[in-house]
Structure 1
């Protein structure tokens, strides 16, 4: 991830790298009381649906991956309510159900066609890739007749330690293959001789290579190498509408020399997704449809020696919002176009959907798969909706506290009518987050597509 303070990075790592649960009462299928609350945003008037509202330390799945189950009824999220196990909450009833037992690490992957959940779990030597039958878990939990955990959880494969696999996991659109990161030694075995290996880049001393991507067949357990690159790999995501197409990034913890990349499952077609200029700070790319990827071109840094604009300078956003520190080069200013950018994977054309007039600009971004809307958060933790046809922008909600343990990370549901965020709006300590749903205004939904 980019633009994070050391404190936030630590908190994110703690949430992503959940350890196996030692609490014997944390059992798959366990049900918890509804915490569902409707809260009217005092500034915008938008009625938010908080699906969790107590200080358990909840966080949503990252915007690069689906949040809702394939039937559109449940959202899967991370929480300490069940001792670091994954939970699902029913959007309508608020029912909360534990859907893993034994812990997980890294990314939770919800299938788009089937009621399956795929993730990694620590093993004695290496990592296990586990598949959960969510339909059966949820049905048996509702009926009060849970069986043994192995009834619902299937180990698809155990990845050997020699692969140096990480928790960066992405489920293919065909739901047969899963992609994962491999470490330096494994990547070096496959990289083309003579390739220049990149050193660390930027003040965080990250980004050095080589690293790579491999894929696992969830039915047979077969592992195939996809690609090795001379830099650190991050944010692996699959195009969920087009099997065998991947997007990933050169991870430095901030500005990268070339942030976004795409490659096909057989290792062919490796190229920069958006060839960026040295002055551009590109971040938080997310595949939003069969042909499109949303990303932020940041406009968060002051222009040296320039006067503040009438709208206000892109400054005073440090502290909980890093990226102002030296060492990133002449990047992230508004001397050139910035904002929520959308790149077409086929035509390779990019356009800016919108940008806030001041402050950080849009930071974490997403879009509806029908191409109608885009959404982004900013350093103030406010959420902005964009009509891609008219370019109109509106603030949907604000007041989610800059002291929060993480950022809103907006993600559209499958039909583009609702947006999930994580928020500290209700937290007494100003940090603990909950899971919330923000509706797209009815008046916007009624507009001609």
Structure 2
């Protein structure tokens, strides 16, 4: 039973956080010794049913903030070795959509159209596909070194970035949209190298990645953010900079609101930014106040009023899921235990719960037991004896995330990030995993199917 004083948390975005916490929820148990991964199982460590949705190895769900559900909520778009397909997350039926060497952008929130790109010579062309008629439409041919990564809520605009200069010769930089990179079988843009520290030790994969990001940041390549009119193909510049501009996201509700990041090692940049599609309203969402403070992996709340992000003060020591209210500027910080820190967080469509996809011991939290999928219930920290500080309304609202484990990910290789997302009905998490070797798309039910063992 939840404490009455903590049973509800009302965040400044207007969302209600109800105490609907099932006392036990945990994570996935691997199956070994089988030629084919199991179709489904009940995780013995958590009591939750896990279902493999995909039949074909190499099928992958999208990046955590790419909208991937059809308007009826029944199917999720995935990438396959052959192109793009829909997976019904209840019947497991597969519906191929686009074949060939294409990269998914997302599904449209209004019509459900599939937006994607295809390389044509040295350039990239942008397309849409109607789910109703299966008619393909070529929207535009992008300029060289341009990428498109998001679609606005009314499907009138796409947005992307243009790098206006070539990178230094011989340097291999990350793609400017890690969301759709498929450079290795695990979907990771970077392969492990042999770079060594000053003491001669080999840098870990995570450290090598940080150093690669730092070199790209130091290049200070001129860039711009642009919008692309879906009806006419017209490009318009929104913002220009020599900062590394990346991870564009449109608000799920406001068609004129963009979020983007200053990419690079997080402790070296103020990462989170907002801008309107007309170029106004440039806003820094979070400013660092201590050395080695980091913030990132940002995402919008379903109503578009709030930005949520991973905050660490400092890096690898104190973990928060933090928020910024676009209308009022109000802020919330929900504390996260080290083992529950996650590469990516997400939020249910009704704003009641969060999810996390965990992380391995080599990642920033260095969690000794962090390889789980999590369901989180936010809980406010109340005033003492119902006495509020005179300036409480202007301070950060504190809270904690109470974690429930859903899937044991101990055999998962976290070079492939699971990128868990809630289904629109709030009953499952969809995620990608190499639990059994090959990459597949899975779903875990949020309601337990069995009583988990005592812990």
TM-score, with structure 2 as normaliser: 0.68
Q: Which residue among 243, 257, 263 is the counterpart of 2:255?
A: 243
In 2: Cα distance, 1:341 partner to 1:203 partner? 26
Is 1:220 aligned to 2:228, yes or no? no
> In the TM superposition, what whole-angstrom CA distance separates every residue of 1:282-329 from its partner, at most 9, and x where no partner exists?
121112321122211247xxxxxxxxxxxxxxxxxxxxxxxxxxxxxx
Q: Is the 8 A contact 2:263 2:269 kept in 1?
A: no
Match of 2:447 in 1: 441
Q: Secondary structure at the match of 1:262?
A: strand
Q: How does 1:65-76 map to 2 (within 5 A)?
A: 65-76=66-77
In 1: Cα distance, 2:38 partner to 2:44 partner? 18
> In the TM superposition, what whole-angstrom CA distance separates every residue of 1:176-196 from its partner, at most 9, and x where no partner exists?
10001111359xxxxxxxxxx
Q: Which residue among 280, 295, 298 is the counterpart of 1:282?
A: 295
Q: Secondary structure at the match of 1:134?
A: coil
Q: Is the 8 A contact 1:206 1:251 kept in 2?
A: no
Q: Which residue among 204, 211, 231 is the counterpart of 1:203?
A: 211
Match of 2:29 in 1: none
Q: Is the 8 A contact 1:244 1:264 kept in 2?
A: yes
Flag the 1:225–1:38 CA change in 2: closer, same or farther, 3 A: same
Cα distance, 1:243 vs structure 2: 1.1
Match of 2:377 in 1: 387
Cα distance, 1:125 vs structure 2: 4.7
> What runs of 5+ residues in structure 1 fail to find an aligned partner?
1-34, 138-151, 187-200, 300-330, 444-449
Match of 2:357 in 1: 377
TM-score, with structure 1 as normaliser: 0.69
Q: Is the 8 A contact 1:342 1:351 kept in 2?
A: yes
Of structures 1 and 2, the one scoring higher in RCO (CA 8 A, sep 6+) is: 2
Q: Secondary structure at the match of 1:363?
A: coil
Cα distance, 1:393 vs structure 2: 2.1
Q: Which residue among 279, 298, 302 is the counterpart of 1:267?
A: 279
Cα distance, 1:235 vs structure 2: 1.0
Flag the 1:57–1:101 CA change in 2: closer, same or farther, 3 A: closer
Cα distance, 1:417 vs structure 2: 3.1
Cα distance, 1:416 vs structure 2: 3.1
Flag the 1:433–1:298 CA change in 2: closer, same or farther, 3 A: farther
Q: Could you tell which deviates more after superposition, 337-346 or 213-222? A: 337-346
Flag the 1:64–1:434 CA change in 2: closer, same or farther, 3 A: same
Match of 1:96 in 2: 94
Match of 2:309 in 1: 295
Q: Secondary structure at the match of 2:333?
A: strand
> In the TM superposition, what whole-angstrom CA distance separates every residue of 1:304-358 from its partner, at most 9, and x where no partner exists?
xxxxxxxxxxxxxxxxxxxxxxxxxxx5132xx42222322222233223412x3
In 1: Cα distance, 2:268 partner to 2:77 partner? 31
Cα distance, 1:114 vs structure 2: 0.8
Q: Secondary structure at the match of 1:99?
A: strand
Q: How does 1:116-265 map to 2 (within 5 A)?
A: 116-137=113-134, 152-161=135-144, 164-166=145-147, 168-185=148-165, 203-204=211-212, 205-207=215-217, 208-252=220-264, 254-265=266-277
Cα distance, 1:254 vs structure 2: 4.8
> In the TM superposition, what whole-angstrom CA distance separates every residue of 1:222-271 from its partner, at most 9, and x where no partner exists?
11111112311111111111111111111115544211111111111112
Match of 1:343 in 2: 324
Q: How does 1:399-410 map to 2 (within 5 A)?
A: 399=409, 401-410=411-420
Flag the 1:421–1:165 CA change in 2: closer, same or farther, 3 A: same
Cα distance, 1:92 vs structure 2: 2.0
Flag the 1:344–1:442 CA change in 2: closer, same or farther, 3 A: farther
Q: Is the 8 A contact 1:170 1:237 kept in 2?
A: yes
Match of 1:363 in 2: 343
Q: Is the 8 A contact 1:298 1:361 kept in 2?
A: no
In 1: Cα distance, 2:300 partner to 2:39 partner? 30
Q: Secondary structure at the match of 2:280?
A: coil
> In the TM superposition, what whole-angstrom CA distance separates every residue of 1:10-65 from its partner, at most 9, and x where no partner exists?
xxxxxxxxxxxxxxxxxxxxxxxxx99322112111112220155x2222111111
Q: Which residue among 33, 41, 47 is the counterpart of 1:39?
A: 41
Flag the 1:424–1:101 CA change in 2: closer, same or farther, 3 A: closer
